[in-house]
């Protein structure tokens, strides 16, 4: 028989677990001192790993020791207070602990029957959020956690394709999204069999919002050409600048042609938890599906994307296959939700635990405070940019992303980006719009305090 598997006993797990939690707590404590962006070169991390997998088990403390030696130098610290790149990808203590519990339970939530609590907690916390974010009534009871906004958008496309006639209708289907829509829209369409030349990029206003009149024009043109407009993606908070598409007009146009409106609010959507930000929900009552990512700004570690659909039948009919081996009385009774029919994979983790722990730990007011701090600091930074004659804003500050550039042009702007990132104190990313390079300061990291924004601004001014 040879060696026995060295399963950790509950007591050994307890001891190793304490060490692992200590390691994470120590990491959290020194996040502010670490250079934000990893300076690893390609191959650096692999060069520190043994060529062959370990033949015999090692002591857990040796594994932990290698976390610091091998892994940390190759980590960009997304939770660092000086992380202002991309959009934030919040983690938090309660969320990390929920992931631990979820892994410890190791439950599969593919159907209600395989884990009733996995399904029902998910339904419940998504309804809590729908109510607290004042999402339209039709989305309540119709939420599901996906791994990402990309998967949510893919599911929306698949549901829309089903409603438009399914695979048989494929050759005629046309989709629409603004020029500023996230690449996941094009990817979802491609996966669903709609090639890039049947996705119409719709022009935007100077504020990078979709032009509903252009949308209507393109849809009518396609209709007249005998094509079937079936899917429109509207974005609330575009990736480059947090531009806000006019969802009311967009959904009105789409619904007139029986096209599905999907609203991608991956980052900005979270802000609607604050009543004063509810303008972000305008038009949702006419939309068919909606996604926002708690794993971006709601203190819930990746992965956790909240996807809501008004007509769940289109989604489940598109994705449901019931082989004999998955049949069970609960599913057959029609009284339960089987989330395997709401997503592409069969299996699913217990991700709702993260939202539950986070909601209970922070409470709604704590979460609102988290968001409001970032909104306020973004407004302040916007004012600082406006009052420095060397800079100009590149887009309105709608939530917590501030976009600006050096008036001297791309070289001057890029120089600032490099200097900031090389400092190790902060990490920014840029984007290009109309040939102009733009700095993006995306505020959203849990450890960020106002003085970190001041430090960043002082740094930018000193290298400008």
**Residue in 92, 119, 142, 148 binding ligand PLP, rule: CB under 6 A:** 148
Using a 10 angstrom Cβ sphere, with 0-12 exposed, 13-18 middle and 19 or more buried, the burial of residue 171 is exposed
- Among residues 175 and 336, whose Cβ is nearest to ligand PLP? 175
Q: Which stretch binds ligand PLP (CB under 6 A): 98-106, 188-196, 231-239, 279-287?
A: 231-239
Rounded CA separation 156/288 (Å): 8
CB of 263 to ligand PLP, least distance (A): 10
- Among residues 184 and 397, whose Cβ is nearest to ligand PLP? 184
CB atoms within 10 A of CB 461: 13
Counting contacts by CB under 6 A, is residue 239 touching ligand PLP?
Answer: yes
CB of 452 to ligand PLP, least distance (A): 21
CA distances to 5, 247, 284, 292, 305 from 133, rounded to whole Å, are: 48, 17, 12, 11, 15
Which residues within the stretch 298-337 sit at the binding site for ligand PLP (CB under 6 A)? 305
CB of 153 to ligand PLP, least distance (A): 7
Rounded CA separation 121/319 (Å): 22
Spatial CB neighbours of 123, under 8 Å, sequence gap ≥ 6? 141, 143, 337
Give me the residue label for tokens 């849809």.
219
Residue 31, Cα to own-chain centre: how many angstroms? 22
Q: Which stretch binds ligand PLP (CB under 6 A): 147-155, 362-370, 392-400, 419-427?
A: 147-155
- The order of strands in the sheet holding 429-433 is 391-393, 401-406, 436-442, 429-433
Counting contacts by CB under 6 A, is residue 87 touching ligand PLP?
Answer: yes
| Pairing status of strand 391-393 against strand 199-202 | unpaired
CB of 160 to ligand PLP, least distance (A): 17
Task: Compute how many residues bind ligand PLP; rule: CB under 6 A.
Answer: 15
CB of 238 to ligand PLP, least distance (A): 6
Counting contacts by CB under 6 A, is residue 263 touching ligand PLP?
Answer: no
Q: Which stretch binds ligand PLP (CB under 6 A): 164-172, 198-206, 234-242, 406-414?
A: 234-242
Positions touching ligand PLP (CB under 6 A) are 87, 148-150, 182, 184, 235, 237-239, 264, 266-267, 293, 305
């Amino acid at each position: 028989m040879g060696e026995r598997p060295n399963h950790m006993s509950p007591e050994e797990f307890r001891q190793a677990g304490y060490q692992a939690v200590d390691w994470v707590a120590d990491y959290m404590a020194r996040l502010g001192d670490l250079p934000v962006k990893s300076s690893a070169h390609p191959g650096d991390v692999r060069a520190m790993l043994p060529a062959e997998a370990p033949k015999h088990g090692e002591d857990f403390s040796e594994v932990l020791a290698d976390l610091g030696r091998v892994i940390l130098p190759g980590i960009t610290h997304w939770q660092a207070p000086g992380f202002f790149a991309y959009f934030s990808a919040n983690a938090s203590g309660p969320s990390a602990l929920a992931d631990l519990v979820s892994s410890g339970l190791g439950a599969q939530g593919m159907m209600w029957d395989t884990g009733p609590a996995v399904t029902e907690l998910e339904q419940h916390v998504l309804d809590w959020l729908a109510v607290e974010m004042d999402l339209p009534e039709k989305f309540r009871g119709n939420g599901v956690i996906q791994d990402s906004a990309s998967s949510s958008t893919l599911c929306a496309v698949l549901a829309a394709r089903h409603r438009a006639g399914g695979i048989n209708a494929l050759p005629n289907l046309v989709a629409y999204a603004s020029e500023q829509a996230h690449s996941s829209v094009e990817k979802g369409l491609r996966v669903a069999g709609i090639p890039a030349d049947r996705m119409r990029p719709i022009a935007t206003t100077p504020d990078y919002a979709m032009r509903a009149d252009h949308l209507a024009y393109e849809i009518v043109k396609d209709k007249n050409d005998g094509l079937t407009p079936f899917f429109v993606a509207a974005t609330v908070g575009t990736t480059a600048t947090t531009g806000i598409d006019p969802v009311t007009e967009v959904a009105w146009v789409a619904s007139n042609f029986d096209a599905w409106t999907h609203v991608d609010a991956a980052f900005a959507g979270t802000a609607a938890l604050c009543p004063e930000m509810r303008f972000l929900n305008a038009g949702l009552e006419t939309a068919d599906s909606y996604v926002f990512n708690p794993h971006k700004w709601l203190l819930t570690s990746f992965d956790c994307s909240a996807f809501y659909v008004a007509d769940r039948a289109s989604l489940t009919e598109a994705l449901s296959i019931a082989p004999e081996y998955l049949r069970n009385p609960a599913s057959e009774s029609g009284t339960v939700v089987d989330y395997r029919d709401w997503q592409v994979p069969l299996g699913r983790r217990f991700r709702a635990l993260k939202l539950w722990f986070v909601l209970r730990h922070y409470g709604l007011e704590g979460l609102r405070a988290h968001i409001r701090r970032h909104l306020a600091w973004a407004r302040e930074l916007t004012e600082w940019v406006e009052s420095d004659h060397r800079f100009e804003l590149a887009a309105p500050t709608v939530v917590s992303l501030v976009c600006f550039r050096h008036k001297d042009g791309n070289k001057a702007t890029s120089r600032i980006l490099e200097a900031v990132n090389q400092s190790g104190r902060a990490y920014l990313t840029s984007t290009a719009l109309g040939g102009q390079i733009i700095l993006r300061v995306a505020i959203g990291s849990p450890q960020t305090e106002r003085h970190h924004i001041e430090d960043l601004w002082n740094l930018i001014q000193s290298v400008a």
